Structure 1
Amino acid sequence: MGKLMLALIAAAFLAGCQTADDALTTGTTQTAVTGPAARAVAGDMAGRLAEQIGSAGTTTIKMKNDQSEFATALEAALKRGGYTVVADNRGRDMKPLELAYAIDSIDDQVLARVTTASIAISRAYNLTADGATPVSPLSVMQRN
């Protein structure tokens, strides 16, 4: 009886770890990165993402632009790289690659994350008046 109760409690805790769907979300407590720093971080992250996801000519990216400077800079950097970026795929016969992003502050640095269903990349940056400098190696997590 004790083992059964322990198993039920463990199952209840593990059930709380599951997500309801496969949707990607953008962090709600993002740090505001503006101006040259937003463009520098977005340009670097877009380039690193391109290294991971491949050809721009055949990939359409679905991205929610929250109108922040970073989101606008990321969308522009992806478009400069040759990717088609859409806000939704209504009325189109396509299966876009869904992209989520987040910028969080950690100590005196920011951590930029760009995520798709199959890969997540992140990197820490020091922000300066004229841009941003990477202070960590690129972290790449591939999902199956």
Structure 2
Amino acid sequence: MHKLAPCLLITCSLFSGCQAAGGPIDTYSAPGAAVGPVAASAIAGDMASQFAEQIDRPVRTPIKMDADGSDYATALEAALRGWGFVVITDGRVGKNHKPIQLTYSIDSLNGEVLARVMTPSIALGRAYATTTAGATPASPLSIMQRQ
């Protein structure tokens, strides 16, 4: 029962950002919660793998993200590259490329960390329990697709 409340809160917060009719998914990047490099790497690896499974475009489609220099941003960029994505962080986009804008956030909530990865067509979110040894999922993956 104690895990049901955070799951419901996460689900409600994710759905509340996507109720605008016809508008884009609210996208931003925020430094949010401070997590250590080991936990950031574990969270980013999981989120990147889930993103790779959900995206319906070829893996070579460029991903454009604003890296803020945090452990999570660095780990997410590396994890996406590990899945074969071309990640653009300097804003330089070739004329023949139409990158997918990817934003992310990581925030503390009730002693857990809520990580989100968003594009204009999909948003993924999951809560994690963090320790000095890493992070483990504390909730199911929340997936919202925009048709």
TM-score (norm 1): 0.79
* Correspondence 1:113 to 2:82: no
Query: Would the aligned equivalents of 2:31 and 2:70 in 1 still touch at CA under 8 Å?
Result: no
Which consecutive segments of 4 or more residues in structure 1 shift more than 3 A?
A: 21-25, 54-57, 89-92
Residue 59 of structure 1 and its aligned partner are, at CA, apart by 1.3
Identity rate of aligned residues, in percent? 50
Structure 2 match to 1:123: 126
Query: Would the aligned equivalents of 1:62 and 1:98 in 2 still touch at CA under 8 Å?
Result: yes
- Distance in 1, matches of 2:29 and 2:66, equals 12
Q: Which has the higher contact order (CA 8 A, sep 6+)?
A: 2
Query: Would the aligned equivalents of 1:102 and 1:113 in 2 still touch at CA under 8 Å?
Result: yes
SS in 2 for 1:25: coil
Of 88-97 and 39-48, more deviation after overlay is shown by: 88-97
* Correspondence 1:73 to 2:75: yes
Residue 93 of structure 1 and its aligned partner are, at CA, apart by 1.8
| Structure 2 residues without counterparts, runs of 5 or longer | 1-18
Count of aligned residue pairs for this structure pair: 127
Of 126-135 and 28-37, more deviation after overlay is shown by: 28-37
Structure number with larger C-alpha Rg:
1
- Distance in 1, matches of 2:92 and 2:33, equals 28
SS in 1 for 2:40: helix
TM-score (norm 2): 0.78
* Shift in alpha-carbon separation, 1:30–1:81, aligned structure 2, 3 A: same
| Structure 1 residues without counterparts, runs of 5 or longer | 1-16
